[in-house]
Structure formats: C-alpha cells, structure tokens
C-alpha cells in the first residue's frame, strides 16, 4: 500500500524532502508555488481524513454501521442509567445529559488523539516535509465528521422526545465553528509540545477526565453554582459551549452571544499559539522523533 508521500506524487502533488523547506515568498508577495502548495496541503489533508475514516471502518465487520451503533449504544446506556434506574427528578435530564456528553466526546477525542498526532506520525515526518499543522488538522477534521453523525442521531432522539427544531438552530454553525477552533487549537498546541515531553500524554488524559466532571455535563450551572463562582466556571470555554448547545437544542433559545464570542476568542488564541509553536519548531521534529 502506498504511503502518503507516494500517493501525493501519484496525484500530482509535490512534497519536498525533509531537508528542503518550500519557498513561500516571491519578489512581489506570495508566489504561484505558495498557492499550489496551499491547495496541495488542503487536498492532502482531506485525502488523509477520508483515508483514515475508510481505514478505520475496514477494521470492523459491520463497517460504517459502527459509527451509528456506537453513539446509539452510548445513548441507550445513559438513558437506562439516568433516565430509568436512577429516576432523576431533573426535568429532561436524559436529553440534558446526552447533549453534554455528545459535545464533550467530540472535544475529548480531538484533544486526546490530536495531542499525539505528530509523535504518532514519525514515519511521515522523517520521509518528507509537511507543515506540522497537517497532523492535528487531520485529527480535528476526522473527529468533526464523526461528531456530525452523533449530532444527527442526537437530533433524531430530541425530536422524538418532544424537542422539535426551532429558529435557534441557526446558531448551531456558530457553536460548531467556535468549538472546532477550541478543539483544533488545544490539540495543535499539545501536539507541538508532546514530542518534547512524552509524559505529557498522561497529564492530558487526566486533565480531560477532570474536565469531564467540571464542565457542567452532569449538572445545570444555573442551579448548582453560587453566583460568585459563575465567572470562574465561564472561563472554561467548553462549559459555555455545552450550555450554548443546550440552550439551542433543548430550550429553543439563542446561546449567550458574549459567552460564544469568548469561546471563539479562546479558540483563535489557541490556534495562534499553535501556529507560532509549530512554525518555530517545524525543523526540529525530524531530529527528536
């Protein structure tokens, strides 16, 4: 089976060797090579995303159906535990919980997988030059496509249980865009650092577990937290995003615009830090992997 560099050459995309960094500035600004490289980079990103998705489903007997069965089984377990066995008095608690868990799963998967994306791609890094943002971007887009399937199933469940679509659904693209920035930005920052401190992978797993319990997935922040603690809680962009999804999907209300803008700003900041780190360390990775 051809590797990524061979596939790229076969499809007409030129990848320079590790020791050669592509020229990105012409005499009068970005030259034609820059545009071709940018187009080739995005083409290669999406090629790798769909190749990874296809490779993943080939490992299972039921192929693509597993992407449907897995979230359905998770939702069924949560419904049995919290909706029937525990018999919570909180109104619409099952829907409340499923929205939080579904949104967090996208974030947790992207950060966990993306933080290891460069170190797990040692073979590619040593074979040919690629901007190192390529690897966390592939992970972020792969997990985003998986989230779209989960979101579709979640919407069907909500509609079947008395929560029809409303005009507030128009805010979903903004919520998903802000969350993608946060997911990719944090994953890329960690991906830039993990090759230098491999033990950080264990800290990432622990931090995600802690974040799962402090992001308001199991409780409504408006009824649990004291007013003096609300500001600290809202510094967590995932907490504000989860609250925004619940406002749209369960309450039929628009999300808090300021909270959404804050989450997007945090995501943009993380993306900027990641871009600076990856550009600064770009030529170092082949020597340490």
Q: Which of 11-15, 100-104, 163-167, 277-281 has the lowest mean pLDDT?
A: 11-15
Q: Distance between CA 59 and CA 288 in Å, rounded?
A: 31
The count of C-alpha atoms lying within 13 angstroms of the C-alpha of 71, restricted to the half-sphere facing its C-beta, is 24
- The overall pTM is greater than 0.85: no
- To 10 degrees, what angle do helices 65-78 and 134-160 make? 60
Q: pLDDT tens digits for 25-68?
A: 444 344 444 544 777 778 888 888 888 888 777 776 666 677 77
Q: Calculate the CA 20 to chain-centre distance.
A: 31
Instruction: State phi, psi for 29 to the nearest 5 degrees.
Output: 110, -165
Reported as a single tens digit per residue, the pLDDT across 8-24 is 444 544 454 544 444 44
Residue among 175, 129, 135, 132 nearest 151 (CA): 175
What does the pLDDT look like over 184-203, one tens digit per residue? Answer: 999 999 999 999 998 898 99
d(CA 101, CA 181): 19
Per-residue model confidence (pLDDT) at position 89: 57
Residue with tokens 């995003």: 241
Q: What torsion, rounded to 10 degrees, do the Cα atoms 211, 216, 219, 225 define?
A: 110
Q: Is 29 helix (H, G, I), strand (E, B) or coil?
A: strand
Structural domain boundaries in the chain:
32-288
């Amino acid at each position: 089976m051809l590797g990524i560099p061979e596939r790229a050459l076969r499809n007409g995309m030129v990848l320079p060797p590790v020791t050669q960094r592509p020229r990105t500035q012409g005499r009068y600004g970005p030259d034609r090579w820059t545009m071709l490289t940018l187009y080739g980079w995005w083409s290669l990103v999406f090629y790798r995303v769909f190749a990874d998705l296809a490779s993943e489903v080939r490992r299972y007997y039921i192929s693509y159906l597993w992407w449907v069965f897995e979230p359905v089984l998770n939702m069924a377990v949560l419904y049995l535990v919290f909706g029937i066995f525990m018999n919570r008095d909180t109104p619409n608690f099952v829907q409340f919980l499923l929205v939080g868990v579904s949104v967090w799963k996208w974030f947790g998967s992207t950060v966990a997988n993306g933080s290891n994306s460069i170190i797990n791609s040692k073979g590619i890094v040593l074979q040919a030059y690629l901007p190192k943002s390529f690897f966390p971007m592939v992970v972020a887009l792969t997990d985003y496509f998986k989230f779209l399937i989960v979101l579709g199933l979640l919407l069907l469940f909500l509609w079947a249980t008395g929560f029809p679509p409303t005009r507030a659904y128009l805010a979903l693209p903004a919520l998903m865009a802000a969350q993608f920035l946060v997911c990719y930005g944090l994953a890329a920052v960690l991906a830039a650092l993990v090759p230098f401190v491999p033990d950080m992978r264990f800290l990432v797993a622990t931090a995600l577990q802690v974040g799962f319990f402090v992001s308001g997935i199991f409780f409504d922040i408006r009824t649990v937290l004291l007013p003096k603690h609300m500001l600290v809680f809202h510094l967590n962009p995932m907490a504000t995003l989860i609250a925004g999804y619940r406002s749209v999907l369960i309450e039929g209300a628009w999300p808090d615009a300021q909270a959404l803008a804050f989450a997007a700003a945090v995501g943009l900041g993380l993306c900027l830090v990641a871009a600076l780190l990856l550009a600064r360390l770009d030529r170092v990775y082949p020597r340490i992997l």
